[in-house]
Chain A
Amino acid sequence: MPGHSPVKQLTAGVAVVLLSLLVWLESRGFPELPDGHPGPALFPRVIAIGLFLSGAYLTVSALLPEREPALEPAGRTGVAGGVARIAVVTLALAAYPFASDLLGFIPTISAISLLVALLLKARPLQGALTAVGGTLVIYLLFTRVLGVPL
């Protein structure tokens, strides 16, 4: 994955071009100013044009040598394992509002934190202590020391 990857750059370029088209299409529903000049649509459309041109450039130059390093590949478990770990944590965060109502703030944050620790291969006891202890410290710091309500 690091270094030159025409497929990756091609994918990025095409995605940026598609995004620019979506922005343009969405902006068609925005109203004009009373004098007929573009209003709320103008800025998003300028951005869409910029995205289109940049995306097109990336697409066209996909086969040119790439000098900057990109992200290293996933570890031994491969791409699928990496994506699965990301999906699990992201889903846990998606469930945060519901879990927080059900379990409470501290248990929910501790559970998410522990999940991250375990997925990063921390020892279970060490992970649990860090997750619960870290959450408690953060909670007390925010609510008691700094007066930020949670």
Chain B
Amino acid sequence: VTGLLSWQGLVALFLGGLYGSLFGAIPGLSATLAVALFVPLAFFLDPVVALPAIIAISSVSIFAGDVGSTVARIPGTPASAAYVEEMYELARRKGPVYTLGLSAMGSAVGGVIGTLLLIVAATGIATIAAGFSSFEYFWVAILGLTAGIFASGGSAAKASVSLLLGLLFSTVGIDPTLGFPRFHFGSPTLLGGLNYVVAMIGLFGFSEVLTHLYRGHAQERVELADSSEHPLRGFYVRPLVLMLRHRWLVLRSAMVGLFVGFLPGAGADVASWVSTSLQKIKQHAGAETRSEEAVLAGASSNNAAVASAWIPALSLGLPGDTVTAIVLSIFMMKGITPGPLLFQNEIELVWALYATFLISSLVLLPLFGYTTARVAAHAIRAPLNLLLCVIAALCVVGAYSMNNNPFDVWIMAAMGLFAFILRIGGFPLAQVVLGMVLGPILEQNFMVSVIIAHWDFMAFFRRPVALLLMVATAVVVLLGIRSTVRRVIAPAPPP
């Protein structure tokens, strides 16, 4: 901890948070890319300085993914896509400062809960995670997809179509069973699959530009509700009051984030989706704080997942996501062996990591969150046609920057057109991203499971945890049907 509390450690934390907030807020740039670009520098730094910087980068960038959702309906990360519509709607109704305050406070509390669990139960939880086989992963993916269908709040049939289209997009490229190329239409670039960040920029960002081009009227400015309110009150006080009122929601979402986050390969993206979808299914149609609850659920679960992804990494040496995979490579370079012995041999490093997570949640998120919220509040007030022209440029640059490949710009444009058509038909867009995120997890684990079980499908119901997840899926279906029926029989809102 002494290394962390040195001036180098604190500067690394601060700069990591600043760097992460920029990467998260800009469409196309991700926490993984931010950490990957930081690696060459990290190799030359003391681990007690480099690793806290990585924690700051990843936790702040996951929060900053909500900035794009707030300003322009472009989620900065797939985790933010789970509640992008709610962020966008809330920012226009109650202002971007309040909306991002809600997200930052939810992220901070989720991060603290995740860290506390990391401190008290890292090894035990990691052992449970290590017991997860392809059968359990299959059911986790099914649970996420099922919740996603009912979470749209509209027609379940249309949500299913969006989800299936996302799953279909996930099949582009090399298949996981035989390595056979599918749906690549002779393009070598498509062999690597569709990058879902590029797709997301097109689906949300470019389709927004196309929608306004179609309507032909984008000269208005956004009128914000909270223009007279002090930003400190809007960012800190009101969100904290609401969070206290919804404390069980925050706690429950953080626990879901923890559970999904520590599963290797799942991470913050899936955690956010599962948590937000469950909340949307559970809440009553027309509830006054519907959007706020969805934002709180998503934000608290994705930052809890950022912390819990480190549990298998530290305890077992298994990366929970791409960021922890990079961290493990830094461990190896420095001659540090992750696993149970880490807690004996490198206890100072472990405590430095815990302290960093807490500082990141309690100081960096509120600090950088407030700064980005103020910037977003100015950006959102710009004339819409000028804002959209900058968004168009950002979409092109963001898509191109993923691989420095102009083909990605075409993919982004095609996805934008496709999303525009879906919007005309009233199909939800977020479910397409969910399908793309969960598709590879679902297919790979299904194929591995059936091959292991020699195509005995009853094997999916034999393992206790798999059975538990199946029951959870059935409960989600029942809740979803109940929610749909309530919506159908509810009286129509007054005109």
* A interface residue numbers (CB < 8 A to B): 1, 8-9, 11-12, 16, 23, 26-27, 30-31, 33, 37, 39-40, 42-44, 47, 50-51, 54-55, 57-58, 61, 66-77, 81-83, 85-86, 89-90, 93-94, 96-97, 100, 109-110, 112-114, 116-117, 119-122, 126-127, 130-131, 134-135, 138-139, 141-142, 145-150
Contacts and interface: CB of A to CB of B under 8 A. Distances in A.
B390 A86 contact: no
B132 interface: no
Given A47-B171, A148-B29, A86 B426 contact: no
Nearest to B455: A37
A1 B400 CA distance: 34
A23 B215 CA distance: 33
A43 B171 contact: yes
Contacts of A70: 423-426
B213 A130 contact: no
5 shortest interchain CB distances as A-B pairs = A97-B406, A120-B385, A82-B214, A75-B216, A117-B389
A95 to B, nearest CB: 10
A134 B23 CA distance: 17
Contact of A44 (B168, B397, B404): B168
A93 B161 contact: no
Interface of B: 19, 22-23, 26, 29, 33-34, 37, 154-155, 157-158, 160-161, 164-165, 167-168, 171, 175, 177-178, 180, 182-183, 209-219, 383-386, 388-390, 392-394, 396-397, 400-401, 404, 406-407, 409-410, 412-413, 416-417, 420, 423-427, 442-443, 446-447, 450-451, 455, 492
B413 A142 contact: no
A74 B175 contact: no
A97 B407 CA distance: 8
Contact of B393 (A54, A69, A94, A113): A113
A109 B424 contact: no
**Central interface residue in A43, A74, A97, A145, by most chain B CB within 10 Å:** A43
Given A47-B171, A142-B397, A148-B29, A74 B183 contact: no
B22 A141 contact: yes
B210 to A, nearest CB: 5
B187 to A, nearest CB: 14
B389 A43 contact: no
Given A122-B383, A127-B386, A54 B160 contact: yes
Contacts of A119: 213
A97 B409 contact: yes
Q: In this complex, which of A74, A126, A142, A150 has the most chain B Cβ atoms within 10 angstroms of its Cβ?
A: A142
A80 to B, nearest CB: 11
B425 A9 contact: yes
B383 to A, nearest CB: 7
Nearest to B407: A97
Contacts of A12: 161, 425, 427
Contacts of A71: 211, 214, 423-424, 426
A117 to B, nearest CB: 4
A58 B446 CA distance: 28
B369 to A, nearest CB: 19
Residue among A51, A90, A114, A135 facing the most chain B CB atoms (10 A cut-off):
A90
A42 B412 CA distance: 28
16 contacts: A12-B425, A33-B451, A43-B167, A43-B175, A67-B492, A71-B424, A74-B214, A76-B216, A82-B213, A82-B214, A86-B213, A89-B213, A90-B413, A113-B392, A117-B388, A134-B389
B169 to A, nearest CB: 10
A93 B15 CA distance: 35
A134 B385 contact: no
A66 B404 contact: no
Contacts of B407: 97
A133 to B, nearest CB: 9
A57 B177 CA distance: 32
A71 B219 CA distance: 18
Contact of B178 (A8, A31, A82): A31
A139 B417 contact: no
Contact of A148 (B33, B165, B425): B33
B236 to A, nearest CB: 28
Nearest to A58: B157
B193 to A, nearest CB: 13
A21 to B, nearest CB: 13
Nearest to A143: B401
B20 to A, nearest CB: 11
A23 B389 contact: no
A142 B390 CA distance: 15
Nearest to B219: A121
A126 B386 contact: yes
B276 to A, nearest CB: 19
A127 B385 CA distance: 9
A57 B157 CA distance: 7
Nearest to B387: A130
A130 B446 contact: no
A94 B37 contact: no
Contact of B161 (A44, A54, A75): A54
A32 to B, nearest CB: 9
Contact of B389 (A39, A47, A130, A150): A130
A124 to B, nearest CB: 12
Given A68-B155, A131-B389, 8 more contacts: A37-B455, A40-B180, A51-B168, A54-B160, A81-B216, A93-B413, A120-B212, A120-B385
A63 B424 CA distance: 17
Contacts of A126: 386
B448 to A, nearest CB: 12
Contacts of B442: 43
Given A12-B425, A61-B157, A134 B393 contact: yes
